[in-house]
A and B are shown apart, each in its own frame.
Chain A
C-alpha cells in the first residue's frame, strides 16, 4: 500500500545513504521500481501534490490487477525542487541506488534537460511531461517518451482558438520561459494570416502587481490577451486585468489556467477565461476514472501524464515477460502496447494485463491522450479539451 520503502539507515544524517537489500532486480519477487521526479517544492510546484497522487493511484491499480509478470510495481517519488541541480541528484539516486527501470514526471523543461543524458546513458527510459521542443532533439537513442504536446502545437491551437473567437488583435503576456518568444511569434503569425495582428511582452515572474505591463498591453487595444504564465503570476495578471476593466477575451495554457488557479482567484476575476488542456478523447475511460478516484471535477494534464507514465512503462514490461525488467526492455516494447495497429484498445491496466497474459496485443489509451509516439519520442494525436471558467468552475466546451 505504501509506495515508500523503509530503509535501515546507518548513521542517518551523516552517512550518504542506506543499505540496499538487493542490488539487482532480477529476483522474481522483487518489485519493479519506477522513479518519479516532480516539483514538490519550489517555483513550479503547483501540480506536485496531484502528480504524486496520480502516480500512486497508477501503481495501486497495477498491483490490484496482479502486478507485472507476478511482480509488484513500486513508484519512488523524489522532489526536484524546481531546480535542475537537485533534479540531477534525485535522478542519480533513483537510477543508481533504487535501480529504477524508468523515470516519469519530469515537468519543468530545465529539469528534463538536466536529467535526460543521465537517463539515456544509464539505459533508463525517461517519460516526460515537458513541452519544450529541444528535448526530443537530444540524441536520446529512443529512451525519451514525451507525453505532452510540443510547445509549437499548443501555441498553434491557442492561436487558432483566438481567431475562432473572432479576435483581430492579440497581445501575449508571459514570463521568460524557453517558449515565451515562440508563442509570441507563432500566434502573431496565425493572426497575421487571418488578417489581424499580434504582439507581446515578457515580464518578470515574481512580481506582486503587473499594472505597468498591463498598461502596455492595453495600449495595443487587443481584443484577446494570451496568458503564458504559470499559476502564481497568472493569478496576479488576471486580478490586475479585472481591476483594469479589460473586457476582451483571455486565453491561457493548462499550466496557467487550471483547477489550482480557480482556488487562487475569486470567481469574478477568472470568469470567461479559456484554457486549452492536452487531453484524451471524449470517450476515454482512463481520464474519467482518474478524476473520480482523485475526487476532482477536472484534472490537469500533467497529473494525467504522470499516471500514464507509470502505466505505460508497466504495460511495456508486461508485454515482454521473458525479457529482463530494465529500461532497454521498456524502450523496445513501449510502442507495442501503446500504438499497435489492429490490437485491442484498452483504457485501463487491468484489461491490458489480462489481454497480454492471454497472448493478445493491446493498444493502451491513457488519461492524457491516446499515447502514440513518433520515432523521436514526441506524442502524436493528442486531443485538446477546450475549457472555460464559468461561475468559478472549469467547464469543458469541446474536445477536439
Chain B
C-alpha cells in the first residue's frame, strides 16, 4: 500500500515536471506583464516542432534541440505578443487584463492553426531512443523523466539566479512588484516586457520539446495541457516563480495519487477540485509570499 502510494507520487512528479517549465513561463509573463498569456500552449508546440525539425532532419542531439526550441518559441512569442497583444495592453480600461487574456486565446488558436497549415495534423516522433524504466528502491522510475525533472529544476534555478543577481533580472522583479515605482527609478517596462515574453515563451518551448520527446509532436501538443499548465501556475500563486514549479509538481502528484481513489476518467476533475479547495483556503495561491509580496 505504501509502495503503491510512493509509486503514484513518483509518477506524479514525472507528470508535473513536464508542465513545470511552461507554468514557469506563464507565471513570469504574468508577473511582469499582468495578464495570462494563453498563447503559451501554441508556443510550446512551436518549440516542439522547431526541436523536432533539427532533430529529425539534422540529427542534432538533446541539448542543442532544447536550445533551438527555446530560441524559436521565444522569438515567435515576442512576435505574436507585439502583433496581437501589445496594442491591447495600450488600451486603458478596468477590464484590460481579461481582454488581453481573451485575445491571447485567439492568438493561441491562430498560431496552432498556422502550425497545422505548415505541418499537417500528423504526429511526429523524435529520433531520440526511448530508455526503459529502472527499479529504484522498489519503485519504477524512468531515467529520461528524471532527467526532464532535473532539466526543469536546473532551468528554474538558473532563472532564480538571473532574477536575484543580474541587473536586468532585478529590474524585472521591480516591475513585477510595483511598475510605477520601477518607472520612477528609470526602468522602462516596455523593454523588459519583450525580454519577459522571450524568456517565458522560450521556457514553454523547452517544455514543449521535452513533452514531445516523451510523447510526440502534432499541432495540438501544447493545447492538450493548457488547462493543467494554467492550473499549476494558479496553484503556485501566479506571481511566484518557485511557486510555478512547485505548483506543477503538486498538481502532478495530486492527480496521480487521486487515481488510488477515483476512476481514471475523472483525473482532471480531481485536479480542478483540488485547485478550488486550495484557492478557497489561500485565494492567492499556495506561494504568494508571506507578506503578499510577489517573488
Whether the complex brings A and B within 8 Å at their CB atoms is answered yes
In whole Å, how far is A256's beta carbon from the nearest beta carbon of chain B? 12
Interface residues in A201-257 by Cβ distance below 8 A to B read 201-204, 206-209, 211-213, 215-216, 231-232, 235-236, 239, 242-245
User: Size class of B's contact patch?
Assistant: 35 or more
Q: Which of A42-50, A136-144, A356-364 lies on the face that meets chain B?
A: A42-50
Closest residue to A264 on the B side, CB-wise? B123
Bound together, the chains give a CA A215 to CA B140 distance in angstroms of 9
In the complex, the answer to whether B15 meets A208 with C-beta atoms within 8 Å is yes
Closest residue to A261 on the B side, CB-wise? B123
In the complex, the answer to whether A49 meets B11 with C-beta atoms within 8 Å is no
B259 at the interface (CB under 8 A from A): yes
B164 at the interface (CB under 8 A from A): no
Q: Kindly supply a per-residue 1/0 record for chain B positions 92-132, scoring 1 wherever the CB is within 8 Å of any chain A CB and 0 otherwise.
A: 00000000000000000000010010001111110101111
A103 at the interface (CB under 8 A from B): no
Candidates B15, B121, B140; contact of A209 at CB < 8 Å: B15
In the complex, the answer to whether A208 meets B11 with C-beta atoms within 8 Å is no
B214 at the interface (CB under 8 A from A): yes
In the complex, the answer to whether A203 meets B265 with C-beta atoms within 8 Å is yes
In the complex, the answer to whether B123 meets A263 with C-beta atoms within 8 Å is yes
In the complex, the answer to whether A208 meets B125 with C-beta atoms within 8 Å is no
A176 at the interface (CB under 8 A from B): yes
Interface residues in B198-224 by Cβ distance below 8 A to A read 211, 214-216, 218, 220, 224
List the B side residues contacting A266 at CB < 8 Å.
125, 127, 129-130
Q: Kindly supply a per-residue 1/0 record for chain B positions 169-185, scoring 1 wherever the CB is within 8 Å of any chain A CB and 0 otherwise.
A: 00000000000000000
In whole Å, how far is B7's beta carbon from the nearest beta carbon of chain A? 6
Decide: A265 near B216, CB < 8 A? Known: A41-B113, A209-B14: yes
Candidates A202, A203, A211, A231; contact of B11 at CB < 8 Å: A211
In whole Å, how far is B86's beta carbon from the nearest beta carbon of chain A? 24
A269 at the interface (CB under 8 A from B): yes
In the complex, the answer to whether B121 meets A49 with C-beta atoms within 8 Å is yes
In the complex, the answer to whether B122 meets A263 with C-beta atoms within 8 Å is yes
B295 at the interface (CB under 8 A from A): no
In the complex, the answer to whether A202 meets B123 with C-beta atoms within 8 Å is no
List the A side residues contacting B123 at CB < 8 Å.
46, 231-232, 235, 260-261, 263-264
In the complex, the answer to whether A245 meets B133 with C-beta atoms within 8 Å is yes
User: Size class of A's contact patch?
Assistant: 35 or more
Decide: A46 near B130, CB < 8 A? Known: A232-B216, A232-B218, A243-B142: no
Bound together, the chains give a CA A41 to CA B263 distance in angstroms of 29
Interface residues in B227-285 by Cβ distance below 8 A to A read 256, 259, 263-268
Can you list 25 pairs linking A and B with CB atoms under 8 Å apart? A40-B121, A46-B122, A49-B122, A176-B265, A202-B265, A204-B268, A207-B15, A208-B215, A209-B214, A209-B215, A211-B11, A211-B14, A211-B15, A212-B259, A213-B264, A215-B7, A215-B11, A216-B259, A232-B216, A232-B224, A235-B215, A243-B133, A260-B122, A266-B129, A268-B130
Chain A positions near chain B (C-beta within 8 angstroms): 40-41, 43, 45-46, 48-49, 176, 201-204, 206-209, 211-213, 215-216, 231-232, 235-236, 239, 242-245, 260-261, 263-266, 268-269
Top 8 closest pairs, chain A to chain B, by CB = A264-B123, A264-B216, A211-B11, A206-B224, A45-B121, A203-B264, A243-B133, A212-B259
In the complex, besides A235-B123, A245-B132, 9 extra interface pairs with C-beta distance below 8 angstroms are: A49-B122, A203-B265, A208-B225, A209-B11, A209-B15, A212-B8, A236-B216, A242-B132, A243-B142
